[in-house]
Structure 1
């Protein structure tokens, strides 16, 4: 059981600007809810829990000087239409101090269950929107002497790249080290053109996801089914085997080799189609966020702080995914990602601007939510943290022993991130309907072992 002992409001250590930060059109269609992540640290001999809390309080206050938008509050704009603005009022972040009678080993493979979720601050979205903190932190002490650091951060404010920049900066301040890259706070770089241009592409953000053949016409039937979460693990050898299968069975000689993400995501896509027992002609999409910082002309400045991601989708018939080689699924993912150019990004931002109301397009990070589009069966949403520097966050007491999601919110949602030992292995956290998850676990590994590795 987790018991909250104290809570603190952490404001910037110095006066910060009170205006001038806009919410870009690329931020406006992101989730209103917070993204929950968790870090675990082993026992810390020689350090008291009180000293750890004090270190976090002081360093967070200093970090919020350069990342001061996180100390503000969002509010609905006049006439709203689902759009928000930022008040840089230095209301501060929230830091909670908690204790638990559990031990770190009680969390097993750190599967995002409600037990794990209790280590991250919860947000009551029935409270007035303009009062909700944009950053909440919970430090929990375990009976074994270890600690966890749970974070809930507004997705309107940041994406994974900006979050990792913030965490790295906060940890450097705690260690007393100089900062190298300061956040670039000008979000006007991602405002729509004036006037917005007509859409040049078929943008997935505003297209309804495919429906399950034979399911409820409005997806209510699929949305209501019980779901659960599993952690799937791939060793470095298994990852390399998937890359080999994607690249050496059917890839054309003039096509650049598929990455481990393209291979692993393609494998997950194929396996879920099988586990869900899709009909051959079922249309299925794999949605994924693409970081476009270096796809812009010119690239966004180093340290750009905000959302610089677009959700795109790879599409195929389930029958083709299940019967053709893995490279087919990987090629579909590659085709979708390669669409994201400067022109594509500008067109997508313009399309956000001309929407009369954004509310119905937002998905939700809250388990069981019925708001927003349904991206579950027959579809997937696969987020990769492989290339993000989210790990090795050292506040002066060593690097974490584990980092991962504290919640996987809906059917078909999946995270891929590096294994605990940094040895090239990967972990997949996925939520699926209870009726399909056992089949997925079996198919996921059986398909790897059944493929010949004689050419590896």
Structure 2
């Protein structure tokens, strides 16, 4: 697959911005600290290619203006010891690449094994303070279609914040005013001195000691096996069928009111346990994230920019997940979510503060290595984009014909997206060991009544 780079530039804020150094919150510095890649495919009208202002010029101009408001993204981060990071707001800029390909857009769309060439490469062997926090690549195909591939550092933004930036960038590209300025203040979620009743405890150690395969001392060999990615679609009918089964209880249908995320995730977890052929007594964990914006008292501002998601772990035995009703697995997930109140959240933050060194808990799995601390047999991570406004991004040449995650290659890494028509359907992008993917697909579809 050929993609050739035509130009690369560093786009800086068009106006002077605040020069300041921020200490980052504990959540900013733990978990995934690489960039999160996404791709948007477009089919612009021919008028765009004969207009006086090119697509790349439109993107550069609007990017330089939106960075005035999102100035932290134009900065850099640097290590300050013990695995901790700080943000330097220095207007170093965002990388923007122009590229072209000799093949057609149809050869790329929905084929995740080709996406890596459509998103800027991030060299994590370089010092971290040399890496842009955002990089974008616009690739034009032979047929006239284009792809915008974007990398946004998870150190600075979770999904909601990243999409806020993308939405405002697109608005300015359409010559519309900014809709909502970001509120950036990492001190809001910084650890603080709390009464002993809120002190950190060992209840936050799930990600530190995930289960291994029975009989193994580590899972290094498992994490290094060849993986493959599949995007599987569930219709609204499939989702409703799963919900009906999961919610059936002693008082009839809808007894438990499990959500779309809970039932589909439970189905993914069960299918993975079957495909991996776990021993019945095999412990297994499911990692996911909870948005705490509205779980804190008082809630965070609606325009809060940063990381406001907390890692959660549900656990069980593979034999129970496989043999017991789907509602059993949904209950394990619901129990993990329900404990997240204001007190638990602050206790979690203080737990991370109490650690001497963050380094063992920083995940470079996206592009650097297979040595992620959590992912891999027998565990799974299912991140939900179901409630995020991921579709309808229009830079002036129409909305995308396809949007999805960029390349991800860690065993057990899964992203759940809403169907593009917002009709209750779900898309599941999952990475598993090559040896297990066919079996996973089989169980994934056969087990739906």
- Above 0.5 in TM-score? yes
Answer yes or no: is 1:329 the counterpart of 2:332: no
Q: Quick check: 143-152 or 362-371, which moved more?
A: 362-371
Aligned CA distance change for structure 1 residues 277 and 83 (closer, same or farther; 3 Å): same
Alignment partner of 1:62 is 2:61: no
The match for 2:235 is 235
Q: Does the C-alpha gap of structure 1 residues 126 and 166 become closer, same or farther in structure 2, counting only changes over 3 Å? A: same
State the partner residue of 2:16.
15
Contact in 1 for aligned 2:315/2:332 (Cα 8 Å)? yes
Given the alignment of the two structures, is residue 429 of structure 1 paired with residue 407 of structure 2, yes or no?
A: no
C-alpha distance in structure 2 between counterparts of 1:179 and 1:255, whole Å: 44
SS at match of 1:391: coil
Q: Are residue 84 (structure 1) and residue 85 (structure 2) matched?
A: yes
Contact 2:214 2:282 in 1 (8 A): yes
The gaps in structure 2 that reach 5 residues or longer are none
Q: CA deviation at 1:97?
A: 0.2
Match of residue 120 from structure 1? 119
Question: Cα 1:204–1:393, aligned 2, differ >3 Å: closer, same or farther?
Answer: farther
Structure 1: 4+ residue segments shifted above 4 A: 249-256
2-structure distance, mates of 1:81, 1:337: 30
The equivalent residue for 1:166 is: 165
Is residue 101–residue 142 contact of structure 2 (8 Å, CA) maintained in 1? yes
- Counterpart contact for 2:78–2:86, Cα < 8 Å: yes
Aligned partners of 1:33 and 1:366 also within 8 Å: yes
Shift of 1:26: 2.0
Q: Residues 373-424 of structure 1, C-alpha deviation per residue, up to 9 Å, x if partnerless? A: 1421111000000100121111111111111111223000000002233332
Matched-pair contact (CA < 8 Å) for 2:23–2:85: no
Number of residue pairs the alignment of both structures matches? 444
Does residue 1:51 correspond to 2:50, yes or no?
no
Aligned to 2:101: 100
Stretches of structure 1 that go unaligned for 5 or more consecutive residues are 452-456
1:176, CA displacement in angstroms?
1.9
Structure 1 residue 351 displacement after superposition: 1.1
**TM value normalised by structure 1:** 0.93
Residue 221 (structure 1) shift: 2.2
Task: Tell me the distance in 2 between the aligned counterparts of 1:195 and 1:372.
Answer: 32
1:199 has 2:204 as partner: no
User: What is the CA-CA distance between 1:441 and the residue it aligns to?
Assistant: 0.5
Cα deviation 1:161-193 (Å, max 9, x = unaligned):
101111111111111222232111111110101
- Partner Cα distance (1:338, 1:75) in 2: 36
Aligned partner of 1:138 in structure 2 is: 137
What is the RMSD computed on CA atoms of the aligned residues?
Answer: 1.8
Write the distance in 2 (CA, Å) between the matches of 1:383 and 1:22.
27
Q: Secondary structure at the match of 1:26?
A: helix
Distance 2:69 2:309 in 1: 22
1:20 offset after TM fit, Å?
5.3
Shift of 1:316: 0.9
- Measured against aligned partners, the alpha-carbon deviations of 1:15-34 in whole angstroms (never above 9, x if no partner) come to 10001543112212132311
Question: Would you say the 8 A contact 1:386–1:418 is kept in 2?
Answer: yes
How much has 1:368 moved relative to structure 2?
6.9
8 Å CA contact retained: 2:21, 2:88: no
Distance 2:45 2:285 in 1: 45
Is the CA contact 2:200–2:354 (under 8 Å) kept in the aligned structure 1? no
Equivalent residue for 1:71, pick from 67, 71, 74 = 74
Question: Cα deviations across residues 21-68 of structure 1 (Å, max 9, x unaligned)?
Answer: 431122121323111111111143201286111111011111101100
Residues 368 and 124 of structure 1: is their aligned pair in 2 closer, same or farther, counting only changes over 3 Å?
closer
What secondary structure does 2:48 align onto?
coil
What is the deviation of 1:254? 9.5
Alpha-carbon separation, structure 2, partners of 1:271 and 1:379? 12
Deviates more, 1:366-375 or 1:256-265: 366-375
Quick check: 1:285–1:313 contact (8 Å CA) kept in 2? Answer: yes
* Shift in Å, 1:204: 4.3
Scaled by the length of structure 2, what TM-score is found? 0.95
> How much does 1:213 deviate?
1.4
Task: Give yes or no for the alignment of 1:212 onto 2:216.
Answer: no
Q: Distance in 2 between matches of 1:235 and 1:328?
A: 23
Asked whether 1:446 is paired with 2:431, we answer no
- How do 1:400-439 and structure 2 match up within 5 A? 400-439=400-439
Distance of 1:400 and 1:307 partners within structure 2: 26
CA contact (8 A) 1:223 1:374 kept: no
Match status 1:351 vs 2:354: no
CA contact (8 A) 2:248 2:256 kept: no
Q: State the secondary structure of the residue aligned to 2:184.
A: coil
Where does residue 454 of structure 1 map in the other structure? none
Which stretch of structure 1 is more off in the superposition, 92-101 or 164-173? 164-173
Q: Distance in 2 between the 1:34 and 1:251 partners?
A: 46
